[in-house]
Structure 1
Amino acid sequence: MSARKTPTELADTIRQNLDLDLDPIREFLSAAVSAIDIDPLRPGPRPRLVAPSVALDDVTVTVALTASDPSYLGTFDRTTATRMVQVSIQARSATAPGTGYPQRRGPAVRLPVEEQIAWVTVVLGDWSDYAYRVVNEEGRYRIRPEFFVVFIDRGGTLRLAPSDLQWVLISGGRCAYPEKLIPDDPELRAYLRRHGDLIPADLVPHPQGTSPQVWAHQFVSHLTATLADELGRIGNGRWFTFDEISLHGHSTVIVRYTWHLIDGDKAYGFDIDLAGVRAQRLRMFDDLRARTAATRIAALPFDQPVFRTPEMIDGVTWVRFGTPE
């Protein structure tokens, strides 16, 4: 029994023994880097390779590429125009699926991970040093396409993924996680050993924000989660009762709560102008993330704050956020 070959050995075999036309892929990758707007690339035909497997007999491998804006997946620097190149790999038996049905495709085959990585190395070249394999739990139970991704900005700088990337949105299913491909570059290998293979989201400079509509829902989600976490820490209902957390359109969030004190209850209301809060976060902190804006406001009731310009209306102390100071 012959020893299993490494991804590097299999990549060399692919390059040496298969007559592959990589020009369409090279042109696609070049366009993905240089395009001012990545969206026009998406409707076009996806470049792909169809070739025999170099590790399995009578198996055909299909490798396809796409490019997209990954800003909805996690925290990226909004000044770099980062784009995500995704490589999907699928293998099928090349034998006839059955007499009388020549038009049917052969059944899906599980391609060894070593050959998957070899194909990624061939199509991405040096970019593969920064590539991730997206592992999905469903892959343990059924054969499905395999996905690899790499991030690169318009200047041609390759990027590691942020720590808050939602990998499951790439692969589908209920749970997914990344496996960083081992790079050939020794300096990058040394960096990964020291710092890990993901960039902490809080260290990403100039973090981007989503559209106002999405931002509003993200804000409410993070606000509610932070309040629930704080209440859980101190014992729900002991000191605070939250009566309302509501989103009005995509512009305003109202929070009403009661602070239970020895001297009696005090009712508070937060009137949050989302556009104003977003603009203030950008001006003061260069941060457009809904999460950081929401968690800061949600923590205020538990810090015994003294609000500078509250307004008393019908026994409720109202505090406005996002209005000019």
Structure 2
Amino acid sequence: MREKVSAPKTPAELADMIRRNPHLDLDPIREFLAAAMGAIDTLPPGPAPQLVAPSVELDDVTVTVWLTVSDPSYLGTFDRTAETRMVQVSIHARSDHAPGTDRSELRRPAVRLPVDEQIAWVRVVLGDLSDYAYRVVSEWGRYHVRPEFFVVFIDRDGTLRLAPSDFQWVLISGGRRAYPEKLLPDDPELLAYLRTHGELIPADLVPHPQASPSQVWAHQFVSHLTATIADELGRLQHDRWFTFDEISLHGHSKVLVRYTWHLVDGDKAYEFDIDLAGVREQRLRLFDDPRARTAATSIASLPFDQPVFRAPEVIDGVTWIRFGASE
């Protein structure tokens, strides 16, 4: 294996060379990214799409690029109301030949891909999103040839954001130490911002907007509660295990849910008494999460998980479960 002899090219020029490959199909990548900016549970089933193509800088080397998406909230300080996703780009290069051996593709020796070509692949798969991408550099990468990692952070509404200053980069790369290298953006306004303010957002400045006003929050809660119950019932298809008789909002402070669980040994009637102010306060205190959607989803899914409630109150054959009540 030898490096191709040519004048040094910029990542942008290398990206153009990659895009000219007529066998490169970027549609699955674009579809995956579009789904990633929606709900994570709407991602298509099966493994994430991959790109496999020859290196544009090294002879006899094949590059594999794949994407994953996850919730980064446990890795640093993010605005929980923004529902930020972390899209991770992993890049691995292997020699096409192993002299004197007949090795399978997975056993072919790994090759260190030049950094400029790594960045070029990131620009190809992420497009304009790559302006906000970071390369994760670790001590392991100094001594071992291993996959390279890049990440970009995208809110559910498509807004791109910089990483917080307390982000745990080592949990992406492994090893004992890791740090980010910000990709040089094409956007001149972003470049000017980075030069003035730096490449990371101070964690103590990450905004955490208050939840919606109580009236709005109440209607959002009921909407998501109803939608989740309908979705769960739809998953049961023709199995009639549950009958929901009432989902009602009382003022802006209480929601009642009445349903029957049809069991082999007889029906069981339940009623959920949901104190909205109490539920919202508990979610914020316990999970730092003021969203109506996540609060509603957590309660709406309970009947379908075959729950065992602790010391429930039974009145006239109806099991009452209270949520958000003062302890």
What TM-score results when the alignment is normalised by the length of structure 1?
A: 0.62
Q: Which stretch has the larger CA shift, 42-51 or 163-172?
A: 42-51
Q: Is it true that 1:118 corresponds to 2:120 in the alignment?
A: yes
Give the equivalent residue in structure 1 for 2:131.
129
The correspondence of residues 192-207 of structure 1 with structure 2, limited to 5 A, is 192-206=194-208
Q: Deviations over 1:54-106 (max 9, x none)?
A: 00000000000000000000000011000000000000001145344456632
Q: Does structure 2 conserve the Cα–Cα contact (< 8 Å) formed by 1:42 and 1:67?
A: no
1:3, CA displacement in angstroms?
Answer: 2.5
| Partner of residue 24 from structure 2, selected from 12, 20, 23 | 20
Secondary structure of the residue aligned to 1:125 is helix
Gaps (5+ residues) in structure 1? 209-275, 290-323
Match in the other structure for 1:29: 33
Q: Indicate how the Cα distance of structure 1 residues 39 and 207 shifts in structure 2: closer, same or farther if over 3 A, else same.
A: farther
Amino acid at match of 1:16: R
C-alpha deviations, 1:200-221, integer Å up to 9, x for none?
100011189xxxxxxxxxxxxx
CA distance in 1, matches of 2:136, 2:161: 16
Q: Tell me, what secondary structure is at the counterpart of 2:128? A: helix
User: Which residue in 2 is equivalent to 1:139?
Assistant: 141
- From the superposition, tell whether residues 131 and 77 of structure 1 become closer, same or farther in structure 2 (CA, over 3 Å): same
Instruction: Give me the CA root mean square deviation.
Output: 2.6
* Structural mapping, 1:72-83, within 5 Å: 72-83=74-85
Kept in 2, the 8 Å contact 1:207–1:288? The answer is no
Alpha-carbon deviation of 1:44?
2.9
CA distance in 2, matches of 1:184, 1:29: 20
Aligned match of 1:49: 51
Percent sequence identity over aligned pairs: 78
1:30 alignment partner AA: A
Which residue is 1:187 aligned to?
A: 189
Detail structure 1 runs of 4+ shifted over 2 Å in the superposition: 39-44, 96-105, 279-283
Q: Distance in 2 between matches of 1:120 and 1:197?
A: 18
The Cα of 1:282 is off from its aligned counterpart by 5.3
Q: Which residue of 2 aligns with 1:92?
A: 94
C-alpha deviations, 1:117-147, integer Å up to 9, x for none?
A: 0000000000000000000111110101000
- Contact residue 98 and residue 109 of structure 2 kept, 8 A: no
Q: TM-score, normalised by structure 2?
A: 0.61
Q: Deviations over 1:257-276 (max 9, x none)?
A: xxxxxxxxxxxxxxxxxxx9
Q: Report what 2:167 is aligned to.
A: 165
Other-structure match for 1:109: 111
Matched-pair contact (CA < 8 Å) for 1:14–1:54: yes
Which runs of no fewer than 5 residues in structure 2 stay unpaired? Answer: 211-277, 290-325
* Distance across 1 between alignment mates of 2:71 and 2:106: 35
Count of residues in correspondence between the two structures: 217
Q: What corresponds to 2:252 in structure 1?
A: none
Q: What are the residue-to-residue correspondences of 1:201-240 with 2, within 5 Å?
A: 201-206=203-208
**What's the secondary structure of 2:81's corresponding residue?**
coil
